[in-house]
Amino acid sequence: MTDSIQKISIIISQGSLEGIYPGLIMANGARAEGIDANLFFTFFGLDAINKVRHEHIKLSSVGNPGLHFPTWLGGFPGVSKIMTQYMESKMEKLDIPPIPEFIEMISDTGAGLYACKASVDLFGMSKDDFINQLDGIITVGDFYQLASGGQMLFT
Amino acid sequence: MATATYDGVEVEVNDEGFFTDPSAWREEMAPIIAKEMGIDELTPDHWRVIRFVRDRYLETGGGPTVRVLGKTSGVTVKELYRLFPKGPAKEAAKIAGIPKPVGCI
C-alpha cells in the first residue's frame, strides 16, 4: 500500500453547480478514506465560498450540451433556476448536501479551504465576503507548498 | 477470502479487513480491531458511534455515511474525524464488524 494516495489538493475554478460539486465530492471522498485534502478556490470558483453567493449556485443551462436540450431553450428566463431545483432535489435524495452545508461539512472533516489571492484581488473581494470556515486567502505559491508531497486535481 | 482472529475466534474478512459475516462479531473484538487500525483506546464516544453504525446496519442493511452519522448519531462531523481520523464511516464500520459503507458522500 506504499503507492496509495496520502494527500490531495483540489482546485475549484468554476462557479456553476456542475463546476463546483465534483471537486467537493472528491475532497469529501478523500477525507472519508483518510486522505488529507486541501481545496483552492480560484476565479469563479470563489462563489462556492462566498457567504452570500454560495446559497444561489446555478446549473449552466446555456452552452451545456450535457443537458441534451437546445441552447436557445436554455436561455429562457427561469430555465436555469428550474434545472437547478430539479438537480438539487435529485441530489438530496442521494444524500448529497446543498453546497453551503457540504462545504461546512468538508471543513469539519479537517480539509483546508483556501481562496486564491489573485482572484480575490481581481474581483475586489475581501475576507469578509467569505464563509467563516475559510482557512486563508493565499497565493498560488503558498498553495503549491501546501500541496507538496501529494497529488493535484484541477476542476 | 482472508481470515482474522479476534478474541480467540477466527472470522472471515475481505481484502480490506471488513467482516463478511457481521453476525460473527462480538463486542470484545472491537478493541482488538481498533488497535490494529491504530486506535489504542475505545472511549465512550467511540462506542457510541460503533453501536450506532452497527444498529443502523442491522436495521437498514447498510452502514451510515459520515453525513448521516453527523446528523443522527449525536456526534458532530468534527468530533467523528477526531475519533476516527482515517475516515469515520469506514473505520467505525470495520470496528463494528459490518461491511464497508457504499456511497460517495
- For residue range B33-48, list pLDDT tens digits in order: 999 999 999 999 999 9
CB-CB neighbors (< 8 A) of A97 in chain B: 67, 105
B2-55 tens-digit pLDDT: 888 998 888 999 998 999 999 999 999 999 999 999 999 999 999 999 999 999
At residue A63, the pLDDT reads 86
- Searching chain B, which residue's CA lies closest to the CA of residue A21? B105
The answer to whether residue A92 is domain-embedded is no
Tens digits of per-residue pLDDT, A143-155? 999 999 999 999 9
Correct CATH for B2-95 of 3.40.50.150, 3.40.50.300, 1.10.260.40, 1.10.10.370: 1.10.10.370
Question: What would the mean pLDDT of A89-95 be, rounded to a whole number?
Answer: 90
Reduce the DSSP state of residue A8 to 3 states and report it. Answer: strand
- Does residue A87 register a pLDDT over 60? yes
Q: Tell me: the pLDDT tens digits for A36-82?
A: 999 999 999 999 999 999 989 999 989 888 989 888 898 899 999 99
A-to-B residue pairs, Cβ atoms closer than 8 angstroms: 44
The residue-averaged pLDDT of B70-96 equals: 94
Give the residue among A26, A24, A74 at the shortest CA–CA distance from A48: A24
* Cα of B104 to nearest chain A Cα, Å: 6
Q: How confident is the model at residue A28 (pLDDT cuts 50, 70, 90)?
A: very high
What pLDDT is stored for residue A2 in this prediction?
Answer: 60
Q: What is the pLDDT of residue B62?
A: 87
- Residue spans of the domains in chain B: they are 2-95
Percent of chain A's residues with pLDDT above 90: 83
**C-alpha angle A146-A55-A92 in degrees, rounded to nearest 5:** 95
Mean pLDDT of chain A: 94
Range of the domain at A17: 7-59+98-154
Verify whether the Cβ–Cβ distance B77 to A109 is below 8 Å.
Answer: yes
Q: Is A67 a member of any domain?
A: no
**Domain count within chain A:** 1
- A26 belongs to a structural domain: yes
8 Å CB contact of A33 and B66: no
Residue A41 lies in a domain: yes
CATH code, domain with A25? 3.40.1260.10
pTM for this structure?
0.91
Residues A111, A39: contact at Cβ < 8 Å?
yes
Q: Using a CB-CB distance cutoff of 8 angstroms, which residues of chain B are in contact with residue A110?
A: 78, 81
Instruction: For residue A32, give the nearest of B68, B78, B89 by CB distance.
Output: B89
The reply to whether B48 belongs to the active site is no
- pLDDT tens digits for A98-127? 999 999 999 999 999 999 999 999 999 999
What burial class does residue A149 get, using C-beta atoms within 10 Å of its C-beta: 0-12 exposed, 13-18 middle, 19+ buried? exposed
Q: Do B81 and A25 touch (CB under 8 A)?
A: no
The answer to whether residue B1 scores a pLDDT higher than 90 is no
Residue B31 and residue B94: Cα distance in Å, rounded? 11
A95 within 8 A of B67, measured Cβ to Cβ: yes
Q: How far is B66 from chain A (nearest CA, A)?
A: 8
Residues in B closer than 8 angstroms to A109, CB to CB, are: 66, 77, 81
Reference B71, options A21, A102, A57; nearest CA is: A102
What does the pLDDT read at residue A124? 95
